[in-house]
A and B are shown apart, each in its own frame.
Chain A
Amino acid sequence: MRAAWLDALFILVLLALVTWLAHAQFAVLGMATSLMLYLAVMLLAACRLPLWPALGMAVIASITINYFLVDPRYTFAVADLASWAALAGFLLLALVVTSLVRRLRQQTQQAEAARAQAELARQLADHLALCDDAQAMLRSSTALLRSHTGLPMQLLRLQLDGTLNSLEPAREPITVSPAAVRWVMQNGKALGPGTANWPEAESSLLPLLQLPSEAPVLWVPLSTAATDWLPQLRSLLGQIGLAYQRLDTQAEARALERKAEREALHNTLLSSLSHDMRTPLTAILGASSTLLHQAEALDAAAQQRLLQAIRSEALYLDDATDNILGLVRLGQADRSITLDWQSAEEIVADVLARYRQRVTPVELQAEVDSELLIRADARLLTQALANLIDNALVQHQGSEPVLIQAHRLDGRVQLAVADRGPGFPAGFSVSSIERFAQPLLPGRVRQGRGFGLGLAIVQTIAGLHQAELCIEARDGGGSLVSLVFPPQTVPA
């Protein structure tokens, strides 16, 4: 407003200047040049002022010309017809120029507004294409609309307790009624000024989707600017609504997938628990109750054997607990692991020591390149290796020991377990390992921890390390199962 006043003042000063110049130098300039000077000022006024002030200026200019330049001077009277014609011609010209310029200005403004709207629509479309989280998309899209329009809008959500909350915390207090928001959600129709529903309301509520839904509603407090923007806001909201629907469906699908995965893991755990835990517990209970109640009937050797059995089953339970805990952890939502440089020799030695310390020691043969480092999680890697060895032991036949190798392989690192068993069934491949496959094979022996479950765990651990699980037939019979780690550079 202040700028318009200044502009008007500026035009008035120019008018005064032109009047003084024309009046003082009338002999030189003559009527025609003077009128042209006035017209120039009128052109400027038409550019700088709104329509009515500009027209007013034209009238003021005509009166000034009449008073100062047209004979008889210093009166509002006009002496002759020619002067009347000149004055009327000037006024007409001034009015035409003003209205023409005015129309030109309007067209420019419309073109600019259309360009701004198109730009906003383009930015919004680009933005929507990049979003992959519904809530974040809604928040950032509202921020984009707000910064373009300068309107204090926010997305509101109706909560279960019937109150409203904004998707973006710490914005202006919400003054719209929850009932109005509920109506918009239930009907999928806009409400408030500039709409067909309750136009006398103090703010507008626009639905994201043009149909009944649970989606949030855009609240635009009332202002003149808001009414201008409303049509475009509604069409942009349509775009946002579609993106919201798409992301919402995706999120739902992901949630279902996770649920299915959790359920499958749950089943695996249950079957693992019921078999892997209950069998050794039965043995422990049996042996200990025999010792408690029937010790006198047993000779020393038999008692010793029962004690050994209790110890060996307890050790097995300890191993099984490790594996099951590992499985629970692998199944957790956040599967981040801490990688550190591990010595292949130490990992292999640790696993070998466990097998050597068993009640019936298992001899394994190790071939490890010296100074070989693997970037891995030590516990997961030993768990994977132990599972591979367990599988190999189930299959293994003959007198030569199961072989454990850790080698460099064209920049990569291969950790392998090789047995002399019947090999994997024909058609078996890594891709057919179902992570949640029924873990227990019929006829499974105790020292193994299950065929499918073991490999599934190894595969998950491999994935966490970006390593590849490979299964191949071995020359001379048996299979070689290996983890191949991607090339890694040990820092200097």
Chain B
Amino acid sequence: MMNASAASVHTLLVVEDDAQIRDFLQLSLRAAGYVPLLARTLAEALQLWQDKQPAMLILDLGLPDGDGLSLIKTLRARSDRPILVLSARQSEQDKVQCLNQGADDYLAKPFGVDELLARIRVALRRMERMQLRDQRYQVEALQIDLADGLVRLHGEALHLSPLEYKLLMQLAQHAGRVMTHRQLLQAVWGAEYVDDTHYLRIHMGRLRAKIERDPAAPRYLITELGIGYRLAAS
């Protein structure tokens, strides 16, 4: 049953070699109103990506015919459409590499359909926002105006140090997406600081103290342990 109210029906390319998981992805994506295209191998995926021009790619990292990382590089060189990586929970290094190579987001296996659909929505919305040049971020009490750089909490302007401000802006520009430690350190501190994770930890801690009601249960600034941070999707 298609979701008839969707303004445009998105075609999603799913690259997954396990038949059971492919089956379950196909069923749930179709039920959510998307048109899934299924590929078992990287070669098939590349072919479908060229022929059908899907709106986004959902890629399982552990494919039999090679390295998902190289597909991410190839596709990133050609287009800006979102890439969501599915991978085992324990392999942080793989995920970080994929994200640094330009993947938009990752989801650790095993995952629930609700999580997957949320990530797909965020990724697709990013494309729309880029097209609409939407410059506003709002989640609950937190408002960020990317055009004039104003940050408001409960309607009141928030005072942030220059570094905290730069950090928050980086996250807001990619709201809903995970930014790796390396990406954030490079964007805020500069390329020579990419290994100084303690700067990031301290300033994220200060940012949480200013923005979050309960920093031990953050609502906006989400920690992806061992990978990076994300600002909750608007």
Contacts and interface: CB of A to CB of B under 8 A. Distances in A.
How would you classify the secondary structure of chain A's contact residues: helix, strand, loop or mixed?
helix
B21 interface: no
B154 interface: no
A366 B216 contact: yes
A348 interface: yes
B226 A345 contact: no
Contact of B205 (A322, A343, A352, A353): A343
A373 B201 contact: yes
Contact of B218 (A342, A349, A373): A349
Given A347-B225, A378-B225, A352 B216 contact: yes
Interface in A316-347: 318, 322, 325, 340-343, 345-347
Interface string B210-234: 0000011110000101100000000
The interface centre, meaning the residue of A349, A350, A371, A378 with most chain B CB atoms within 10 A of its CB, is A349
The interface centre, meaning the residue of B110, B196, B206, B216 with most chain A CB atoms within 10 A of its CB, is B216
B59 to A, nearest CB: 21
B217 A371 contact: no
A476 interface: no
A343 B217 contact: no
Nearest to A382: B225
Contact of B204 (A343, A350, A353, A378): A343
Interface string B42-58: 00000000000000000
B197 A356 contact: no
A411 B168 CA distance: 31
Contacts of B133: none
Contact of B217 (A314, A352, A370, A378): A352
Query: How many interface residues does chain A have, given as a range?
Result: 20 to 34
A479 B206 CA distance: 32
B208 interface: yes
A398 interface: no
Nearest to B112: A311
A18 interface: no
B89 interface: yes
Interface string A178-191: 00000000000000
Given A314-B110, A371-B205, A373-B201, A379 B225 contact: yes
B225 A341 contact: no
Contact of A371 (B89, B90, B110, B202): B202
Given A341-B198, A379-B225, A371 B216 contact: no
A352 B217 CA distance: 8
Contacts of A348: 216
B223 to A, nearest CB: 4
B208 A345 contact: yes
21 contacts: A314-B110, A342-B201, A343-B201, A343-B204, A343-B205, A345-B208, A345-B215, A346-B201, A346-B223, A346-B225, A348-B216, A349-B215, A350-B223, A352-B216, A356-B217, A366-B216, A368-B215, A371-B202, A373-B198, A379-B226, A491-B196
Given A322-B90, A345-B216, A379-B226, 6 more contacts: A342-B201, A343-B223, A346-B223, A347-B225, A378-B226, A491-B196
Interface of A: 314, 318, 322, 325, 340-343, 345-350, 352-353, 356, 366, 368, 370-371, 373, 378-379, 382, 490-491
Interface of B: 89-90, 92, 110, 196-198, 201-202, 204-206, 208-209, 215-218, 223, 225-226
